[in-house]
Amino acid sequence: MTGPLREHGALARGAFAVAVLVSLAVLFAPPGDVPSGPPGVDKVVHFSLFAVLALTGRWSGVGQGVLAGLLVLYAAGSELLQGTSLVDRDASIGDLVADSAGVVAGLLVWRLIASRRTGAPR
């Protein structure tokens, strides 16, 4: 693909950088800045956030295995930090599961997109 949507291009790297910055803001916001919502909405946010990180990471050219490993480590680390007095939020295994499922979903969406563009999975 040519143009601004090409793989590994500046737009792809920029989108991944923005996704990382948004994730930092969402995952490490002080407890008073976290809006309340209906039960389960936080899992949807975690799933979506990590799906976007995986999708934009692959678009920017990060290898699938490396990206998956780093994102799962990031998810686990963020949950551990949330449980400390540094962030002072609740750590949750459910959030880690939602994060990990989001990584898998993002990688699968990328595979689908890549296979439609080239005719073969990447």
How high is the mean pLDDT in each 10-residue block of the chain (122 residues)?
66 96 94 84 96 96 96 97 89 96 97 78 54
The CA distance from 58 to 64, in Å, is 7
**Is 59 part of any domain?**
yes
**Is 18 part of any domain?**
yes
The CA distance from 88 to 90, in Å, is 7
Q: Which two tokens stand for residue 3?
A: 């143009």
C-beta separation of 94 from 43 below 8 A: yes
**Is 24 part of any domain?**
yes
The domain tally of the chain equals 1
**Is 102 part of any domain?**
yes
**Is 5 part of any domain?**
no
**Is 91 part of any domain?**
yes
The whole-number pLDDT of residue 59 equals 94
The whole-number pLDDT of residue 40 equals 87
The CA distance from 67 to 85, in Å, is 29
- DSSP state letters, 87-120: T-S---HHHHHHHHHHHHHHHHHHHHHHHHHHSS
The whole-number pLDDT of residue 121 equals 53
**Is 3 part of any domain?**
no
> Which domain covers residue 45, as residue numbers?
10-118
The CA distance from 7 to 28, in Å, is 30
The whole-number pLDDT of residue 34 equals 81
**pTM of the full predicted structure?**
0.89
